Chain A
Amino acid sequence: MKIKLIVNNVEKTLDVEPNELLLNVLREKLGLTGSKYGCGIGECGACTVLVDGEPVLSCLTLAVEVDGREITTVEGLDVNGELDPVQEAFLEEGAIQCGYCTPGFIMIAKALLRENKNPSRSEITEYIKGNLCRCTGYINIIKAIQKASEKIALRERNII
Chain B
Amino acid sequence: MRADYVNIVNTHIVPVKLTYHAPKSIEESLRLLANYRKKARILAGGTDLVVDMKLRRKEPEHIISLKKIKELDYIVDDGSAVRVGAATKLRTIEKNKIIRERFQALYEAVRSIGSIQVRNMGTLVGNICNASPAADTAPPLLIFNATVIAKSLNGERTIPINKFFKGPGITSLEDNEMVTEVSIPYPPENSGSSFLKISRVGMDLAKVNVAVLVKLDKGVVEECRIALGAVAPTPLRISKAEEYLRYKSINEENLRVVQEIVAEEIKPITDVRSTEWYRREVSKILVRDAIKLSVERVKK
A113 at the interface (CB under 8 A from B): no
Binary CB contact string for chain B from 45 to 57 against chain A (1 if under 8 A, 0 otherwise): 0110011011100
C-alpha spacing A77/B159, complex, angstroms? 47
- Residues of chain B lying within 8 A (CB to CB) of residue A62: 14, 20, 43, 46, 50, 63
The answer on a CB contact under 8 Å between B116 and A108 is yes
The answer on a CB contact under 8 Å between B120 and A54 is yes
B154 at the interface (CB under 8 A from A): no
C-alpha spacing A21/B19, complex, angstroms? 14
A56 at the interface (CB under 8 A from B): yes
The answer on a CB contact under 8 Å between B116 and A129 is yes
Residues A42 and B116 in contact in the complex (CB < 8 Å), given A60-B47, A60-B51, A61-B46: no
Q: Which A residues between 39 and 61 are near B, CB-CB below 8 angstroms?
A: 39-43, 45, 48, 54-57, 59-61
The answer on a CB contact under 8 Å between B16 and A19 is yes
- Residues of chain A lying within 8 A (CB to CB) of residue B53: 19
Interface size on A, residues (CB 8 A): 31
The answer on a CB contact under 8 Å between B11 and A41 is yes
- Residues of chain B lying within 8 A (CB to CB) of residue A19: 13-18, 53
The answer on a CB contact under 8 Å between A65 and B46 is yes
C-alpha spacing A60/B14, complex, angstroms? 9
- Residues of chain B lying within 8 A (CB to CB) of residue A64: 20, 22, 65
- Residues of chain A lying within 8 A (CB to CB) of residue B15: 19
C-alpha spacing A61/B63, complex, angstroms? 13
The answer on a CB contact under 8 Å between A130 and B14 is no
> Which residues of A come within 8 Å of B, CB atoms?
1, 18-21, 24, 37, 39-43, 45, 48, 54-57, 59-62, 64-65, 108, 111, 126-127, 129-131
Ranked 5 nearest A-B pairs via Cβ: A130-B115, A40-B11, A18-B20, A19-B14, A18-B18
> Which residues of B come within 8 Å of A, CB atoms?
11-20, 22, 43, 46-47, 50-51, 53-55, 63, 65, 67, 91, 114-118, 120-121, 202-203
**Other than the known A37-B12, A61-B50, A65-B67, what 18 A-B pairs have Cβ atoms closer than 8 Å?**
A18-B18, A19-B17, A21-B50, A41-B51, A42-B47, A42-B51, A55-B117, A55-B120, A57-B117, A59-B11, A60-B47, A60-B51, A64-B22, A108-B117, A111-B116, A129-B203, A130-B114, A131-B115
Q: 6 A-B pairs, CB-CB below 8 angstroms?
A: A18-B18, A18-B19, A40-B54, A57-B121, A60-B47, A62-B63
